[in-house]
Structure 1
Amino acid sequence: MRRTDFWERLGEVFGPVYATSVAKDQVFATLGGRTIDRAMAEGEEVHVIWRAVVEQYSDRVPARLR
C-alpha cells in the first residue's frame, strides 16, 4: 500500500479533518503505543499501520477497504 492510498482510505473512513486528528492524536497499542504520524515518521510499513487502524476501528472501516 502506498502512503497516498493510506491517506485516501483514512480520509474516506473518518473524513479529512477527523482523519488528521486520528493520525496525530490516537495512540494504537498494536503500533507499540505510537500514533499513526509517529509510526510513519519512524519508518513503519504503511500496510502495518493500516491493519492497526482496521483492528482498532473495525466497526467504522467498511469491508471493501480492509
Structure 2
Amino acid sequence: MWQRMREHLGDGYYRVWAGEHHLTSLGGRTVNQAVDDGLPAKTIWRAVWAALELPDRER
C-alpha cells in the first residue's frame, strides 16, 4: 500500500497526504489513523484508490 501511494503521489507528498486527507469511506479517518486502528491494508488501499480516482488496473 505504501509503495503504491508513493508511486502515485510522489516521495515528498504521499506521507503528508496519508496524514492529512480524511477519507469518507474510512469513516472520516486519514490513512494513518486507519492503519493505527488496525484496518486491513486492502481496505485502506481501496479507499485511497477511489479518492485518487485511479484506473481500474491499479485496484
TM-score normalised according to structure 1 size: 0.82
Q: How far apart are residue 62 of structure 1 and its match?
A: 4.2
Identity of aligned residues (%): 36
Q: Give the CA RMSD over aligned residues.
A: 1.1
Distance in 2 (CA, whole Å) between partners of 1:54 and 1:11 is 12
Distance in 2 (CA, whole Å) between partners of 1:19 and 1:63 is 20
Superimposed CA distance per residue, residues 9-28 of structure 1 (whole angstroms, 9 cap, x where no aligned partner): 00000001110111000000
Residue of structure 2 equivalent to 1:42: 37
Flag structure 2 segments of 5+ consecutive residues without an equivalent.
none
Distance in 1 (CA, whole Å) between partners of 2:39 and 2:14 is 18
Q: How far apart are residue 65 of structure 1 and its match?
A: 2.1
Query: Which of 35, 60, 64 is 2:57 aligned to?
Result: 64
> How do 1:1-66 residues align onto structure 2 when only pairs under 5 Å count?
6-58=1-53, 61-66=54-59
Higher relative contact order (CA 8 A, sep 6+): 1
Provide the secondary structure at the position in 1 that maps to 2:15: helix
Moved over 3 A (4+): none
Distance in 1 (CA, whole Å) between partners of 2:6 and 2:57 is 14
